[in-house]
Amino acid sequence: MLLLSLVSLASLLSVESVAAEAVKEADPQGNTLVPAGVSRYQPTIFPDRIILIPTATPALSQTVNWRTQLLQAPLVAEIAPAGDGPALHLAAKRFTANSRQIQTDNGPSAHHQLTFSDLQPDTLYAYRVQGLGTWSEWLQFRTAKTNFAPFRAIYFGDAQNSLKSHFSRVARAALLKAPDAALMIHAGDLVNSRYGVLDNEWGEWFDAAGWQAGMVNQLIVAGNHEYLKLNEDTPQERRVLSPQFSAQFGVVQNGPQPLRDTVYFTDYQGVRFIALNSTEALENEAMAKLQAEWLEQVLSNNPQRWTVVSYHHPMFSVSQGRDNPRLRQYWQPLFAKYGVDLALQGHDHVYGRNVASGVSQAHAGTVYLVSVAGPKMYLVADPARRAMQKVAEDTQLFQLLDFEQDVLRYQSMTVSGQQYDSFELQRQPDGSKRLLETAPSKLLPQRRCGNPDTTTLANKKCWEGDDFGLASKANR
């Protein structure tokens, strides 16, 4: 039988172009715990990188992605209602995956995607995915309810660096704090591999996420570090989306062309979640305008109770030396016009919360949030420190979002489990919203950078991304 040959355009790009220009044998910054020359995350016959991605109809369907080594035939997954006995296979239905091949520094790999369809709302299902002569464990998930019902989501800022070493602690703390979470939102820069197809970083991201990625829906946003810089500092310099991104994250294809792998929306149990691509918007004004036109359509026809938009670069920058006026030009007016509730952002490697200038908290507009989950830390700019309701440096965080009929509760938690920031959005009988500060009983002081290295501080940073790699003082 012919070798698996269902290869997408992105796969062709990765094999023919990206592999030739950007594949590196080892991470030069020591950004992972994998020593040079060691094969830690090569694909095998066993399925790995299993992840749930929400569909456009999460009450009735569910997308799953996974990875194996190259295979000789299409693979399948099995799904059954999750009963209390072990004989899941007797009631299981089979679905056949679409597959693509990509090339990375860990060699060729096959990535598989399928969508379980014709599911029942609010039902617990068990599923497993196939490898070569083997299977994954049985995992389980619950479909969404058809109409609005309260639920909890988790939001992470940039993971990006030292993923197994440092981000894993945040991912695990979040799940322990919110084991009932229905959705996890990642606001870009999941990895650092801007300068090469560094597959060990993706391996560590999935390692840090663990089994929960295959049991809780993951809403993935592309950041600038999901893009590879090719032919840097030459007339041929260009950015391309990492081949792993589209292969691993089969997002719903309802965004504008040519951004459908990164721009999309899903309605989950009465909340509309929208993912935008700020990297493309800042690189190319036409892409900012294109997304704005699409966004207006999505927001103007929105029957959901709450609206959350996530993208990578902040509308209002928090860290020093950064500003993104193009986003304010094209996107902010739409957020205000259509009453977007939360904007979940990353990129600045600090924490910040604010509402748009001129909007009182008594009648809240969009609440703009910036957070960071990984160990790279920057410094808060003085204007942000003066203007924003809450800021922090040198703090790994995760955020809890609780959606109720007329109240949206928000908490930002440090990795050690302390509440750093909190508020409620309360919907009034006339449809307006009020923001109520709900400070914890023991208010934590504003977090400042604790790095004694004045050289790093002079560069407007608290901790560099490679301060915790294998070659750093932290791991000697």
Pairing of β 271-275 and β 306-310? parallel
Residue 451: how many other CB atoms lie within 10 Å = 17
CATH superfamily of 151-455: Metallo-dependent phosphatases (3.60.21.10)
pLDDT reported for residue 362:
60
pLDDT tens-digit profile, the chain (476 residues) = 333 333 333 333 344 344 445 544 445 557 899 998 888 999 999 999 999 999 999 999 999 999 999 988 899 999 999 999 999 999 999 999 999 999 999 999 999 999 999 999 999 999 999 999 999 999 999 999 999 999 999 999 999 999 999 999 999 999 999 999 999 999 999 999 877 789 999 999 999 999 999 999 999 999 999 999 887 778 878 889 999 999 999 999 999 999 999 999 999 999 999 999 999 999 999 999 999 999 999 999 999 999 999 999 999 999 999 999 999 999 999 999 999 999 999 999 999 999 876 565 666 799 999 999 999 999 999 999 999 999 999 999 999 999 999 999 999 999 999 999 999 999 999 989 999 999 766 778 889 999 888 777 777 899 988 888 776 767 75
Instruction: Decide: 174 and 218 in contact? Cβ < 8 Å.
Output: no
Q: What are phi and psi of 154, to 5 degrees?
A: -120, 135
Radius of gyration of the chain (CA): 22
Beta strands (DSSP E) in 172-305 are: 183-186, 217-220, 227-230, 238-241, 264-268, 271-275
> 269 to each of 183, 207, 338, 340, 406, how far by Cα in Å?
11, 29, 20, 17, 14
Domain residue spans in the chain?
9-142, 151-455
How far apart CA 129 and CA 125 sit, in angstroms, is 13
How far apart CA 207 and CA 70 sit, in angstroms, is 21
H/E element holding 462? Answer: strand 461-463
H/E element holding 434? Answer: strand 433-437
Residue 309: how many other CB atoms lie within 10 Å = 26
> 416 to each of 185, 209, 420, how far by Cα in Å?
20, 18, 11
> 324 to each of 278, 279, 329, 381, how far by Cα in Å?
9, 11, 9, 14
CATH superfamily of 9-142: Immunoglobulins (2.60.40.10)
Residue 33: how many other CB atoms lie within 10 Å = 18
Nearest alpha-carbon partner for 351 in 300, 419, 258: 419
Using CB atoms within 10 A of its CB, is residue 300 exposed (0-12), middle (13-18) or buried (19+)?
exposed
Beta strands (DSSP E) in 39-123 are: 48-53, 62-68, 76-81, 93-96, 98-104, 107-116
The identity of residue 222, as a single letter, is A
Helical H runs in 184-239?
A: 199-209
- Please list, in sequence order, all residues whose beta carbon lies within 8 angstroms of the beta carbon of residue 173, skipping any fewer than 6 positions away: 398, 413, 415, 416, 417
Nearest alpha-carbon partner for 77 in 65, 60, 61: 65
Q: What is the pTM of this model?
A: 0.93
Nearest alpha-carbon partner for 264 in 115, 98, 54, 112: 54
pLDDT reported for residue 310:
99
How far apart CA 40 and CA 199 sit, in angstroms, is 10
pLDDT reported for residue 5:
37
Torsion sign, CA atoms 252, 287, 370, 210: positive
Long-range contacts made by residues 392-395, C-beta under 8 angstroms, separation at least 24? 392/350, 392/351, 392/352, 392/420, 392/446, 392/447, 393/350, 393/351, 393/447, 393/448, 393/449, 393/462, 394/447, 394/448, 394/449, 394/450, 394/451, 394/462, 394/463, 395/351, 395/420, 395/447
